[in-house]
Amino acid sequence: MKVQIMSPAANRVDFKVPPAPRLASLEGKTIGLYNNMTGGADIAVDRVAEHISRRYPNVKFERYGGDLRPGRPALSRGNHIDAEEGARIAEEVDAVIGATAH
């Protein structure tokens, strides 16, 4: 016996975002360090910054996460970086390293 069934899987909103251009080098760049305030995320990104500073002494860092920037949206697990905040961060730094899934 054959039975026809309907797909339970929803059609999805079609979002497509191409990858951003990469940096030629980290030399002289400003790197954003984003932690989503889950435990140890700050330690992870700070450790990466230590390593990068040793290799590229003229790199600067900006930190994002939680309510580190009063007047801006608090960025945490519940408050992701939205398009508006993403555009602001992109004006402040050249790249971002994020500890977000842990």
Partner 1 sequence: MVALEKAGIPVVGIVARSFVRAWQSCVDGWGQPSTTFVTIPHATTGQQADFICKMVDEQVDAIIQGLTTLPAAVGTAIGTRGSGQTTELFTVELDATPMGLDAVNHFLAERDWSDGLPVIPPTPAAVEQMLRGTKRSPQDVLMVMEPGFGLATVEKIAINAVMAGCRPEHFPVLLAAIDCLAQPQMNHRDMQVSGHTEAPLILVNGPIAQKAGINYGTSAMGPGVVNSANTAIGRALRLCLINIGYCKAGAGDPNFIGLPTKFGMCIAEHEEMSPWPPYHMDRGFKRDDSAVTVVVVTGPTDIIDSASRTPKDTLNNLASMMFYRNAGAGGWIRGWQSAQVGHSNKRVSYQGPYHPVILSPSRAVILAEAGMSKQDAQAWLHRHCRISLQAALGTRGIPKDDSGRWLSHPELQHLADDPSATIPALESPEQYLLFVSGGSTHYAHFFYGTYGMATVPVEEG
Binding positions for partner 1, rule: CB under 8 A: 1-26, 31-32, 34, 37-41, 43-45, 47-48, 51-52, 55, 66-67, 70, 73-74, 77-87, 89-90, 93-102
Select 6 or 58, whichever has its Cβ closest to partner 1: 6
Closest CB 30 distance from partner 1, rounded Å: 10
Between CA 39 and CA 65 the distance in angstroms is 12
Burial class, 33, CB count within 10 angstroms (exposed 0-12 / middle 13-18 / buried 19+): buried
Closest CB 1 distance from partner 1, rounded Å: 5
Q: How many residues does the chain have?
A: 102
Q: Which two tokens stand for residue 2?
A: 């054959």
Q: Are 102 and 44 in contact (CB under 8 A)?
A: yes
Closest CB 41 distance from partner 1, rounded Å: 6
Residue 67: what residue type?
A: D
Closest CB 63 distance from partner 1, rounded Å: 14
Select 18 or 57, whichever has its Cβ closest to partner 1: 18
